[in-house]
Structure 1
Amino acid sequence: MRTATLLSMALLGLLLLRASCNQEDQETGSSSEKQTETPEETPAGDAPGDTGNEEPEDAPEKEKTTEIEEEKDVMVLHVNNFARALSENQYLLVEFYAPWCGHCQQLEPAYAEAAGRLRAEEPAMRLAKVDAAEERELAEEFHIDSFPQLKLFIDGDRKQPVDFTGQRSPEGIITWMKRRTGPGAPVLDSADSAARFIDSHNVAVIGFFDDLESEAAAAFRQMALDQSGSEFALSASPEVFQKYEVKSSSVVLFKKFDDGRADFGLPDDGKLDKGKVIDFIAVNSLELIIPFNQKTSQKIFTSSVRLHVLLFINSTVESQTSLLDESKTVAQKFKGKMLFILIDVSDVIPEVLTYFGVSTSDAPTVRLISMETKKKYAISTDNLTSGSLAALCQEVVDGTAKPYYKSQDVPEDWNKGPVKVLVGKNLESVAFDPTKNVFVEFYAPWCTHCQQLADIWEKLGEKYAGHDDIIIAKMDASANEAAFSEIESYPQIKYFPAGGKEVVDYLGERNLETFSRFLDAGGVLPEEEEDGDVGDEEDGEAGDDEETNKSTEVPTNKTKDEL
């Protein structure tokens, strides 16, 4: 299902991630959709637009030998030197990538930095990469179905590599490697050692167990290997139990912010549920109000909390920062149900504001997003108080809140040209006019295929300008939304027939002749076009390249009367 991964966006995840990196994806042809919910990977396969029939370039291919070359401290591997690399390196982390993958390109500088630092600090730990789009034999051997995939090979064992589960940043990669190859979580056998451990980390997670050889302790140790965002330790010392007032086996998270600690008690059977503990750590290792930045983004993206409250604040305005302080009581009340995220409009990527229809002058303002339903909610700036924020949050939890849909103002000359200009505020009144057949292109200004379509669409408008019952229109769907229509790809074209008939998703060729035949036939695609392959003609899911026929997975068609 295409939307689960892109909004799983986590919805805020890809909302913000896409807003901050969609320009690169549009240029590189990468997609953030895959079969598992990982917004940092692209499905394996041919490069976008690759038909498999193109003639190879004349440049001679360099002979592959067992010699190992390096690029920025990263070993370049292929089928001929892979075995040698495994035999010569005790710990080898290998990135399987594709040159055209946007997420691979985004990872490249962080991966290279981690490779250089590890080479200097820990010579036994090396990083390598494999062009899996070219090295199909290796890709098949290690079941590479998305890009990038990272696998750790230990002591030359190619049968059971360890999947990388850390953060894709230099610190995240280094921390994960050291944790996976080191002695594991330390044991704290005194109150002093526990105090030093807690004081030396911003977030410290300690497992308190009566028996360090128990199944629960073993599960805690295993879990700690994969959680690179926090530091872990264990203790069975009565002295440590007493100092921190722990009465029974528990996992305690100590932090240098908010309330200072959070406790997770094990059930009476003493078993440790790793999933629940991971969720507990994810929720409590973040501040009550989380500043959105590169360091916090992955924790936000991967959080199991599905409601996100975005506080747009200008940190240079004192009255707005005081509102932020007041909002902490609301965040505490809904902790575990919602994530509260601070977006400083004085220091934020402009695309983030554009996506939410917020300008710097709108601050302070709030947008609340449900990752499950994709619905957004808002409070006007004039009515924003900690009380109104709490009320909105409760209404969303109760399911009684009214969704918010962003819209530009209606242009004064919206209906003067041959192509009518629609926005969120006038889309419904125009598209659902029962006396008109309305043909609408939903586009994004940055979409290259939308730009290529612009002249054709203008000519179509000119051609039907004299038809009283036909309207040719367009709407910037990146800046406007509607309750009845969720646009997931650009360009997306819809036909709204007169008389309350079923709305039609146009799937034919995008040229003047086919558009005209479609309109002249009353919104019916010419028979020879219905089953045709319209080709790789769109920028995909709000910034992600996919074939046109895949973009048809949109909400079920409805009639004008139903809408």
Structure 2
Amino acid sequence: MRLVLVFSLLAFCSRAEEKAPADSTLLRLSDVSAAAAFIDSAEVVVIGFFETDGGHGYKEFEAAVEELKTLPAALCSVKEVWANYIIDSDTIAIFRKADQHQENMQLAKTKKLDADGVVRFFTINNIRYITEYNQVTAVGLFQSEVKVHLLLFVNKGSTDYKPLKKKLGALAPHYTGKMLFVLIDGKEKANARALGYFNLKPSDLPRVGIYDRDSDKTWLLPPGQISTERVQNFCDSFLSGELQKEKEAAGADAKSSLN
């Protein structure tokens, strides 16, 4: 499988080099297989679907891509590819693996179009296997069709920060389309409200929790080592409904004790 992907990536890069003008630094996707390989090549990618270079939004797209150099970007004018991704007019699209989502900015329907607006569109929708929470990414997280968030509360700069981010980032692909993994920096003052929602303080971290947008309920992994196995069991218990039943039973017991 990996060998097939490598050959596919080599193929689309080769076709891109053949199609790209000498002064262009952006890949040109020439067919459906090249587009599919490009989309599969990273957690998040963007494609500018422009019928012709220099169309409405083209310069703004190039400027935004230049500003966010870490976000893989390509261009495509091939209508067969457009049809495959349900594109019918000049559009900037972002594709992400974490929730298997395609988000479109239809340029003809965008009232105010500038490079800053395109950068914001990229940033809001830059949802990865583990996404760092802030005021901008929160918009994309809460707009996603995946409504369950596995939250890693950890203080940035602590000895736990990088190892836990790497550990949970590796686990996240197992829950594609089921959970979004979100990192919340406990040292960031703007995140105090998120910690408070779980009755946590920076001194309590690191901790792991689950937030369900549908029910607006939370669950905390009991204190202890944050191992891959414990987090995986925590996630699986939620998805199986076990955590929900435990919370309901605990609530019923508390209610009966008051009566």
Name the TM-score class by shorter chain: 0.5 to 0.7
| Structure ranking higher on relative contact order (CA contacts 8 Å, 6+ apart) | 2
Letter in 2 for 1:323: L
CA drift at 1:217:
8.2
Aligned runs of 1:483-562 on 2, under 5 Å? none
Mapped partners of 2:173, 2:82: distance in 1:
34
**Pairwise CA distance, 1:387:** 1.7
Q: Does 1:366 align with 2:191?
A: no
Q: Which residue of 2 aligns with 1:303?
A: 144
In structure 1, what is the Cα distance between the partners aligned to 2:245 and 2:187? 27
Aligned residue number for residue 272 of structure 1: none
1:392 Cα deviation (Å)? 1.4
Task: Give the alignment of 1:260-339 within 5 angstroms.
Answer: 277-278=102-103, 285-339=126-180
Residue 285 of structure 1, CA deviation? 2.9
Residue 364 of structure 1 and its aligned partner are, at CA, apart by 0.9
CA distances 1:317-362 after superposition (whole Å, capped 9, x unpaired): 2134312221111112213321111111111343322221112222
What's the counterpart of residue 348 of structure 1? 189
In the TM superposition, residue 298 of structure 1 has moved relative to its aligned partner by: 1.1
How big is the shift at 1:306?
Answer: 1.0
1:137-536 correspondence to structure 2 within 5 Å? 183-186=55-58, 200-201=67-68, 202-203=70-71, 206=74, 208=76, 210-211=78-79, 219=87, 221=89, 224=91, 232=92, 253=95, 277-278=102-103, 285-349=126-190, 350-402=192-244, 427-431=254-258, 433=259
Larger % of helix: which?
2
Contact 2:126 2:140 in 1 (8 A): no
Determine helix, strand or coil for the equivalent of 1:277: strand
Structure 1: give runs of 5+ residues left out of the alignment: 1-181, 188-193, 225-231, 233-250, 254-260, 263-274, 406-423, 434-563
Check the 8 A contact 2:124/2:138 in 1, yes or no. no
* Deviation sequence 1:170-222 (CA, Å, 0-9, x none): xxxxxxxxxxxx943439xxxxxx9x986653435546453389766883545
Task: Summarize the Cα distance change of 1:357–1:425 in structure 2 as closer, same or farther, 3 Å threshold.
Answer: farther
Rounded Cα–Cα distance in structure 2 between residues aligned with 1:398 and 1:309:
15
SS in structure 1 of the partner of residue 78 of structure 2: coil
Shift of 1:283: 10
1:311·1:364 contact (CA, 8 Å) conserved in 2? yes
- Equivalent position of 2:38 in the other structure: none
* 1:313/1:365 contact within 8 Å kept: yes
Counterpart-to-counterpart distance in 2, 1:321 and 1:403: 33
Deviations along 1:264-321, one digit per CA (max 9) or x if unpaired, are: xxxxxxxxxxx96328x99983232211112212111211111111111012321343
Give the unaligned 5+ runs of structure 2.
1-53, 105-121
Distance 1:221 1:302, change over 3 A: same
Inter-partner Cα distance in structure 1 for 2:165 and 2:132: 11
Mapped to 2, the partners of 1:321 and 1:346 lie a distance apart of 15
Residue type of the alignment partner of 1:399: G
In 2, are the aligned partners of 1:311 and 1:340 still within 8 Å (CA)? Answer: yes
**How far apart in 2 are the matches of 1:217 and 1:429?**
54
SS of the aligned residue for 2:189 comes to coil
In structure 1, give the amino acid aligned to 2:223.
Answer: T
Kindly provide the amino acid, as one letter, of the partner of residue 378 in structure 1.
L
Q: What's 1:248 paired with?
A: none
Contact 1:377–1:403 (8 Å) recurs in 2? no
Q: Which amino acid aligns with 1:364?
A: P
Q: Distance in 1 between matches of 2:101 and 2:165?
A: 30
Q: Distance between the aligned counterparts of 1:343 and 1:295, measured in 2? A: 13
Contact 2:160 2:206 in 1 (8 A): no
- Separation (CA, whole Å) in 1 of partners of 2:253 and 2:85: 61
Q: Is the 8 A contact 1:307 1:339 kept in 2?
A: yes
What amino acid is the match of 1:278?
Answer: E
State the identity as a percent. Answer: 21
TM-score (norm 1): 0.27
Counterpart CA distance in 1 for 2:221 and 2:86 is: 47
- Quote how far apart the aligned CAs of 1:388 are: 0.9
Specify the alignment match of 2:46 in structure 1.
none
Q: Distance between the aligned counterparts of 1:213 and 1:321, measured in 2?
A: 39
Distance 1:320 1:380 in 2: 19
User: Could you list the per-position Cα deviations for residues 28-78 of structure 1 after superposition, in whole angstroms to 9, with x for gaps in the alignment?
Assistant: xxxxxxxxxxxxxxxxxxxxxxxxxxxxxxxxxxxxxxxxxxxxxxxxxxx
CA distance in 2, matches of 1:185, 1:212: 21
Q: Which amino acid aligns with 1:186?
A: Y
